[in-house]
């Protein structure tokens, strides 16, 4: 079988971008299937697109959100990203499904993986899906640098009076004898406090630090700290492999589930507005989707193994 050429990869990328921008119709799916069956090289090219879709699931969220947003120019960026990836020009580590920038992190997890580590001072850190951190302990500070993802930290007691910090792209969080979570979002950092207190300092306005106490959550960027919100222990249930929601938007639930599986998981606007409650297993997202389909007026369609869409019916 002849290897796919650049034009075939571009055609495969065009199909992908077309279907990514909106849920495919039955006629479009039939046309795509006819293209796949038209030549063995088409199937080979699509297989490589699927492989790249798996790696897309591990790219930084701000990058994929920019690339996958609406607009012809950004769709063109995605198309050429796929073409270059299929022909071997992009330097992502597809086998490990992680951006190369995070391969050299001190500790990391892949998509869907969770991990717990214990540091020399007794600090316990739970790493959520697709997370990468560096650890810098010296005589002046205990520093966790969050490159990507989300962590839950129980600060250790053997560090004495050495201050404990978590650093993100937006600034620093200082632990004040506490248990807390930190999540790196595309343009901000989200902090939730389970025990005691933390001090949150924006990177460009370090003098505008704010204290958060147990039960508080806030997002911050490099300029300011946002409003306080209530933070419940159930929001950290991912540590136990669970997603617990009460009267949540289905769109938000789908967005959360998408973090734990490679590839693309999306829903249309009509289904996104539905409300859902429950406890879901993060290590079995296919079963969760099947359960949602059985209890809500939605259809879950697997266009490929790594490309799933949710659509409202009725």
> What CATH number corresponds to the domain at position 307?
3.55.50.30
Residue 93 lies in a domain: no
Range 285-304 average pLDDT: 94
* 2 vs 145, higher pLDDT: 145
- Give the tens place of pLDDT for each residue, 204-251: 999 999 999 999 999 999 999 999 999 999 999 999 999 999 999 999
Tell whether 221 and 247 lie within a shared domain: no
- For residues 98, 101, 103, 107, the Cα torsion angle rounded to the nearest 10 degrees is -100
Tell whether 254 and 195 lie within a shared domain: no
- Give the tens place of pLDDT for each residue, 299-308: 999 987 788 9
pLDDT band at 153 (very low <50, low <70, confident <90, very high): very high
CA–CA gap between residue 266 and residue 182 (Å, rounded)? 25
Closest CA to 77 of 122, 133, 115, 20: 20
Global model pTM greater than 0.75? no
pLDDT number for residue 45 = 78
Residue 1 lies in a domain: no
CA–CA gap between residue 46 and residue 304 (Å, rounded)? 10
Closest CA to 192 of 161, 231, 221, 225: 231
Tell whether 225 and 298 lie within a shared domain: no
Q: How open is the CA angle 149-154-155, to the nearest 5 degrees?
A: 110
Domain limits for position 22: 6-86
Q: In the chain, how many domains are there? A: 3
Quick one: tokens of 210? 């704010």
């Amino acid at each position: 079988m002849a290897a796919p050429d650049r034009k075939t990869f571009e055609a495969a990328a065009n199909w992908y971008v077309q279907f990514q921008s909106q849920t495919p119709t039955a006629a479009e799916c039939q046309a795509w299937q006819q293209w796949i069956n038209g030549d063995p090289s088409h199937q080979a090219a699509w297989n490589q697109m699927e492989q790249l879709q798996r790696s897309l699931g591990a790219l930084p969220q701000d990058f994929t959100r920019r690339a996958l947003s609406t607009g012809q120019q950004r769709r063109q960026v995605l198309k050429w990203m796929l073409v270059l990836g299929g022909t071997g020009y992009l330097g992502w580590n597809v086998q490990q499904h992680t951006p190369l920038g995070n391969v050299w992190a001190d500790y990391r997890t892949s998509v869907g993986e969770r991990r717990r580590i214990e540091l020399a001072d007794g600090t316990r850190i739970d790493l959520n899906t697709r997370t990468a951190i560096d650890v810098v302990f010296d005589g002046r500070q205990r520093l966790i640098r969050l490159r990507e993802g989300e962590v839950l930290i129980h600060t250790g007691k053997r560090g004495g009076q050495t201050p404990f910090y978590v650093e993100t792209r937006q600034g620093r969080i200082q632990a004040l004898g506490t248990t807390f979570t930190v999540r790196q979002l595309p343009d901000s950092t989200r902090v939730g406090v389970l025990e005691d207190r933390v001090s949150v300092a924006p990177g460009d306005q370090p003098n505008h630090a704010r204290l958060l106490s147990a039960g508080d959550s806030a997002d911050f960027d490099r300029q300011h700290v946002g409003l306080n919100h209530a933070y419940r222990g159930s929001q950290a249930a991912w540590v136990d492999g669970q997603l617990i929601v009460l009267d949540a938007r289905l769109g938000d639930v789908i967005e959360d589930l998408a973090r734990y599986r490679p590839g693309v998981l999306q829903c249309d606007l009509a289904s996104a507005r539905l409300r859902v409650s429950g406890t879901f297993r993060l290590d079995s997202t296919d079963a969760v989707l099947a359960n949602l389909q059985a209890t809500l007026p939605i259809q879950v369609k697997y266009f490929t193994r790594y490309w799933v869409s949710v659509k409202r019916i009725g």
